[in-house]
Amino acid sequence: MREFNVTGLCIPGKHYMVDISEKVRQIVAMVEKGQYFTINRARQYGKTTTIRQLEKVLLEKGYQVARISFEGVGDTPFENEENFCQNLINQISRAIKRTNPEYAKAWVNNAVKTFGELDIFLNDVCKDKKVVLIIDETDKTSNNLVFLRFAGMLRDKYLDRDSGDSLTFQSVILAGVYDIKNLKMKMVLAGAHQLKDGEKRINSPWNIAANFKVDMSFSAPEIATMLNEYEKDHQIGMDTEAVSKEIRAYTHGYPYLVSRICQIIDEDLDKNWTVQGVQKAVRVILYEKNLLFDDLGKNLESDEDFYKLLYDIAINGESYNYYMTSPAMDWGIMFGILRKQNEQIVIDNLIFETIIYNHFIIKKRIASVNTGEADITRTMPDEVIEDDKLDMALCIEKFARHYYELYNDKDSKFLESQCRILFLTYLKPILNGKGFYYVEAETRNRQRMDVIVDFGPEQFVVELKLWYGEQKHEKALGQISGYLDSKNKTEGYLLTFDFRKTENVGKPRTEWVEYNGKRILDVMVGL
């Protein structure tokens, strides 16, 4: 019986898999054009599985495929040219031997000790052959300078190929997390290389590479192909379209997260293949420890500019256009934390976004303890939860009272930058593993942020606003009313922060209002 897999290679017949044939077809088209390119995607993004399927199709089309990997080879092959050349040729020989033992014999050549000799050798073994070199895990070594020199040699042979001055591979595909232009940066961060005067931190001997535009994330219809296979085996009556759309909504198709949600539903949630089952699986993921989230936390703290960029996007609601010259943006995209959307940079998916919020919240609480700042987390869960039901109205009212008691004498500029994270800091321990929240990305800006809270079978919509006058407040009621419509909800919560220091502002005001057929708790907090 097949199962869902989140560790290592996915194998047809053994694992439930998304149909990625269209993605592979697009990559094959690049190979047929003779393009050299990189497949750079974050950890657990399905690179190796895609490469295996690509190899199978290329072999069926008559190509000679040398699929090798730098994972597990250690640092010895990268100490000098001779070691590198020998390791490369031995790996290629073994790879081709699996499908073409006769041609593999041509690769056994112990005389190759330098890149100059390798250049001549490649002319011989690639003559009248369409050979595709695929190198997986190109960033697995700590010292990549010798590999960068090899990439430079391939670039030169590529440029001479069309003129007939050189014979080389039909296509070269490099796969890994780091883009080849960032390998030197990786070495600097690892302490394996010190920059000399005038040496660039980022450079690339791979400026011949074609743009790799294949979307490696899974769309909802692609996720449905995997769920349809599961449904054929189990006949449980799953609404595969609805479930796949819900999975996509939380993950944006990040392959590991898609498979992990499915695995949890299948193995731990009594096969609850519903929208609610997906939400329960997300709740489990948000409270588990794994290498993907560990990396996310490390990368958050790896660079001050990157940290500030994420804080501005997530907490402050800032919008940033993508700039190719921004190292912080490239860093986030390279590790799958950020992505480009309509020329802007956004956090890749709701699960990552919630992990990032939690990271900021924990740092906020620790900093508050260290500095003696008042702690907003005064409400105990049992004060607002009874019989496993969350009283959101009481929860927000208590927040408003605590907020006024603790911060009415604080500087308004300080509170304007902190009000959102204060509310999320207050909310998190109340949910306490039984629920979770996420921020609706489409509504996050400096004026507005919608927080969606899932607790048990219930879902609550809380809109956070800054006060910009009565007309804007009336518009806010219309906005949350429309958003409640989209969620098929009749009740919502509007929490407005008013930083005017006037006699009309003070203790929190709370009232239920009817607006466009919706019941909205309108809460105003001020100084």
pTM of this structure? 0.88
Per CATH, domain 21-190 is 3.40.50: yes
Q: What are phi and psi of 465, to 5 degrees?
A: -135, 155
Predicted pLDDT of residue 197: 54
**Rounded to whole angstroms, how far apart are CA atoms 388 and 379?**
16
Q: What is the rounded radius of gyration, in angstroms, for the C-alpha atoms of the chain?
A: 27
Could you state, in order of their start, the residue ranges of all structural domains in the chain? Answer: 21-190, 220-286, 291-347, 373-525
CA distances from residue 326 to 199, 221, 465 in whole angstroms, order as listed: 19, 34, 30
**Rounded to whole angstroms, how far apart are CA atoms 303 and 335?**
13
The tokens of 351 are what?
């699960």
**Rounded to whole angstroms, how far apart are CA atoms 285 and 229?**
24
Predicted pLDDT of residue 92: 96
Calculate the CA 344 to chain-centre distance: 16
Count Cα neighbours of 397 within 13 Å in the Cβ-side half-sphere.
11
**Rounded to whole angstroms, how far apart are CA atoms 259 and 4?**
6
How many C-beta atoms surround the C-beta of residue 210 within 10 A?
13
Return the bridge partners of 518, or none: 515
Can you give the pLDDT of all 527 residues of the chain as single tens digits?
899 999 888 999 999 999 999 999 999 999 999 999 999 888 889 999 999 999 999 999 999 999 999 888 888 888 899 999 999 999 999 999 999 999 999 998 778 999 999 999 999 999 999 999 999 988 776 556 788 889 889 999 999 988 878 899 999 999 987 766 666 665 555 555 555 555 454 456 678 889 999 999 999 999 999 999 999 999 999 999 999 999 999 999 999 999 999 999 999 999 999 999 999 999 999 989 888 999 899 988 888 999 999 999 988 888 899 987 888 998 899 889 999 998 899 999 999 999 999 999 888 888 777 777 777 888 899 999 999 999 999 999 999 998 888 877 766 666 677 888 889 999 999 998 788 898 887 766 667 788 999 998 899 999 999 888 889 899 999 999 998 998 889 999 999 988 776 555 557 889 999 999 999 999 998 75
The tokens of 164 are what?
């007939």
CA distances from residue 332 to 308, 336, 345, 352 in whole angstroms, order as listed: 12, 6, 9, 12
